[in-house]
Every structure is written in C-alpha cells, then in structure tokens.
Chain A
C-alpha cells in the first residue's frame, strides 16, 4: 500500500480496496470450492492448497431479510442479503435502498459498493462493503 492508502483498512480481509473495491475468495486448487475465511483445509475435499480469486462485483439477490431487532451497535432496520456473484455466493447488507419489503425484489441485479465506518483514534478509516441496486444495468457477474 502507498502511504495515502495506509490510512484505510477494509472491514474484513476478504474485501480488497485497490484498485477498485471487490471481494476476494480462497479457492481450493483441487476442487474449486470457494471460501471467504482463513482456511485450514478444504471442507469439500480436504485439500490444503488455495489460490486467491477475485469475485465479480455484480450479482443477483438470492435471498434477504430486513433485520428490525439487533443489539447495538448494529443500526436497524437493515437489509441483510445473500448475493450470487457470478456463481460465488456472498453475504452483505444492501446499501442505498430504503429497508422495506416492497423495495427488495428477489433476483434483482446488484453491484458491490462501499461505505465508511469512520476513523479510529489514530486516524485510520475502516471501509465496509455492501450491495446496491444496479438499476437495470448489466453488471459483471449478474444475470442480464
């Protein structure tokens, strides 16, 4: 990272901020199963070799819920979503959408977006991610 970028950190290590924000999965070299967390071995084939792969930033909404009740500091209501990003499934909240059932349509096209969680005492800004409506445009990984 350059000096200017060192003041930003992703909320999770599978969010890559540069050059453009995207998710990165660990793919099993043997069976191509994909995971977001740190691995000891593959849960499908027990292989221990993994390669990092970039996940498409576009996707379609597979399922969701609108969480109205959660302990602080979570801000409610929020739309929690499961998104199919070109065959890799990711979890994330929906951004730039009013959290009401009539606004969230199963199968809708989405694209990755980021937001700031604020700075800590040393001035480092944390960056979160979510998915926002793609408004009908064709997105990478999304179904047309």
Chain B
C-alpha cells in the first residue's frame, strides 16, 4: 500500500499544571477532543499508538480505552524518550501504510509539573565501600565526577560545541533564542507560560548549566495531545468539510544514531537529525525553503540553534547568522516554534511529539487565531529523544 496518510482530527490540552487530573484524565480529554475534531468515534478506530514515558510499563493505551471505548483493537504502548509521542503517531501511520488499518489514533500524555531536574543520574556514596559497578566499573555516582549527564548540561555542551566549531554563538545569542520563544507563546493560549521575557531577564535568571538558565530549559509541565489519522481512500468517503480540514502527512521518518566518533561520550543529536531531515525532504518532495513554519525540539535554547543547521534550514555552520537575520521569529522567513516551543509552551514529554504536529496542523488549517502564520501550506515537526531517537514529520495543507 502506498496510499497517503492524513491527519483527520487533532487536539492538545492546555499545557501547565493540572493538579486535579491524572494521566488518564488528561489523555482522555485529548483523545475525546481529537475524535470530536475528526468527527468520528472509537468505533471507527482500528489501532491505537500510545505513550506515557514516566509510566511506560503501565499500559496507558488500555487504561484510556477503559475510559473512552474498549473495542478490542490492537494497542501499541511505546516508549522512545522525548520522541515517544511522535513514535506513537508513526505506529498508527505505519498500520495504515501497511493496509492493516483505515483509521488510527495516537496519543501521548505526561504529568511533570514540579518534577524538577530530569535525567540526573543516581547518587552513590562510599558507605558500602568503593566497589566497582556497571559498564564503567564505577565506584561511585559519576555526576560531578567525570563530567555531567544531566540534560541541561549535556545540551549546554552540545550548543557550545557548535559555537566552538563555527563561532558566532554566545550566552547572549542563546538567551535571545529563548526570548523569541517566550515572546511567541504570548499568543498561544495553550502554552504553559505566556509572559514575555527579555534576553536580559533570561540571562539574569537562575543558572542551571551554563549557558542555559532556567527559562532557556524546557518547562516540566502536565499535558496530553492526540491525533486521528486516516488513509487517503477512507478520507474520500468522508464529508467534504472533513476532507478540507485534513492535513497530509507527506513524510514520517524515525532515526537512531549512526555510529560517530565520540557519540558515546557526548550524545550526537545532529547526525541522526540530519539523516532524518534529508530523508523527510526527499520523501515529501519538499525543499527546506518551502517550509512556512517549523516546530523543532528546543529542549534547551542551546539545542534550538544547532537544529536550524541539522534540519537544513540554513547553510552548514550558519545557524547563528540565520538566527541573527530574524528568520526564525514569527514574522521571519522560516518561523520556528511559534507555539512557544518546549521552553515556553512546555514539554510534557510523551505529549510533545504530537503537540508539535497539532501546532503545525492548526496553522495549515488556518485555525491558529491570533498566532496564525498567514497562508501556511507546508510545515515540519521535529523531536529528539536522548539516547537517541529522532522523528521528523512534514505536513501539508489539503488541496481540497
């Protein structure tokens, strides 16, 4: 089967603090929202792809079925770090591509408000004696001893590595990237943070891992996002209004790391992103210059800069100049993270890979309200799950 796959319905919850809702509540809200947006019910769905990284062994797909509709269809619970939501979407996409399903549901959900620093390695002490453990024969916890594996620290190193190689990027430039995203989210009612912050305010905020201060880090928040996808053939049988609002998935690509020198010392989030981007552009027949908007994985301000380059939005080594040109602001040539991105909209991990599709699809439908990018026809979404997994989707407006 080589039929196209389309997004028929999509929804995201407000990102932020939801103390009165559990993960099933949030996921159900988003699933019911996506079904309503698609104009279908659980009886129409042939397959579910589901993700909740923090509860990866708990079977979130079946838990949500028990609230919104148990119909006996196959459920794939997936976990792929910060690419979990995008992976769930791709599972539903692949089932349709394989001819196993006509219509699929994908959702991701996370409760992270107040979670603090994520990815910090285990602590250890000399209480039990200096006993070598693990693949490095370590006698103690290695955080702060042989460097850092904390997320803000890893991505700080990745950003400064790029700065070292190509020049032009410094603390202030990284802060201005965060300033852009915090400005963009002032127009997004679903974003966790909606207050603008100046680069000076951002630089003066709490330092987490130089050059990333707190507002330059992705925001740990609660949220869910869900999408209903449909085969092109089935779409033709649906009312014209649904066909008009459908958004084509022109490319769906998932990659992991091809081995590179030192990639096991400092994660290389660039190579697999470049591979995914090239494959996506080729598959969709789209040129980076064609993109009307991009939602990329700004888990830290230092990450956004390098992904301009990795997604081929600029010339190799030219990310700082590209940003300085104003291209990635919402009125620029290639608006990036007009939702506010992970830094300001928020990053409920498993929801993120579908929430960025929600943002792009909403613009392609012309339904983004005050933050609408006028005339948007083509957009790209990107997520990175450290480890690494990279998902890139290219979306196009319906011609109908």
Q: Which of A's residues lie within 8 Å of B, judged by CB? A: 9-14, 33, 35-38, 43-44, 62-76, 78, 80-82, 89-93, 101, 106-107, 117-122, 124, 126, 128-129
Inter-chain contacts of B69 with A (CB < 8 A): none
Residues of A within 8 A of B138 (CB): 11-12
> Could you tell me if B145 and A117 are in contact, using CB atoms closer than 8 angstroms?
yes
A37 to B161 Cα, complex, angstroms: 23
Beta-carbon contact of B261 and A89 below 8 Å: yes
**Is A122's CB under 8 angstroms from B129's CB?**
yes
In the complex the two chains form, is B161's CB within 8 Å of A63's CB? yes
Contact, CB under 8 Å: A91 / B130: no
**Which residues on A sit within 8 Å (CB–CB) of B117?**
69-71
Q: Is the CB of A126 within 8 A of B148?
A: no
Q: Can you name 14 extra interface pairs (CB under 8 A) apart from A64-B160, A124-B129?
A: A11-B145, A12-B142, A14-B137, A36-B264, A37-B135, A62-B161, A63-B164, A66-B210, A67-B152, A71-B117, A73-B125, A74-B143, A91-B265, A124-B130
Contact A78 B264 (CB under 8 A): no
Please, which residue of chain B has its CB at the minimum distance from the CB of A99? B210
Pairs across A and B, CB under 8 Å, 10 listed: A11-B146, A62-B164, A63-B158, A68-B210, A69-B208, A70-B117, A70-B120, A92-B147, A120-B128, A128-B145
| Interface core residue of A10, A11, A69 (most chain B CB under 10 Å) | A69
Are A13 and B161 interface neighbours, CB within 8 A? Answer: no
Query: Is B146 within 8 A of A92, CB to CB?
Result: yes
A73 & B130 in contact (Cβ 8 Å cutoff): no
Q: Contact at A106–B136, with CB atoms within 8 Å? A: no
A58→B171 CA distance, assembly (Å):
28
| CB proximity of B138 to chain A, nearest CB, Å | 5
**Band of interface residues on B:** 35 or more
- Going nearest first, the 3 A-B pairs with the smallest beta carbon separation are A74-B144, A13-B137, A89-B262
Q: How far is the CA of A36 from the CA of B266 in the complex (A)?
A: 12
- Known pairs A44-B259, A65-B157, A90-B265; A120 contacts B126 (CB<8 A): yes
CB neighbours of A118 from chain B (8 A): 126
B123 touches A71 (CB 8 A): yes
Min distance, Cβ B162 to any Cβ of chain A, angstroms: 8
Question: Is the pair B261, A33 in contact by a Cβ cutoff of 8 Å?
Answer: yes
Complex alpha-carbon distance, A13 and B210, angstroms: 29
Q: Are B140 and A69 touching (Cβ within 8 A)?
A: no
Residues of B within 8 A of A78 (CB): 144, 148
Q: Are A43 and B264 in contact (CB under 8 A)?
A: yes
Could you say which residues of chain A place their CB within 8 Å of the CB of B148? 65, 67, 70, 78, 80
Are B265's CB and A93's CB within 8 A?
no
User: What is the CB-to-nearest-CB distance from B52 to chain A, in angstroms, rounded to a whole number?
Assistant: 24
Residues on the A chain within 8 Å of B240, using CB: none
Residues of A contacting B135 in the complex (Cβ-Cβ under 8 angstroms)? 37-38
List B contacts of A70 (CB < 8 A).
117, 120, 143-144, 148, 150, 153
Q: Is the pair A101, B145 in contact by a Cβ cutoff of 8 Å?
A: no
Contact A71 B120 (CB under 8 A): yes
**Bound complex: CA A28 to CA B142 (Å):** 25
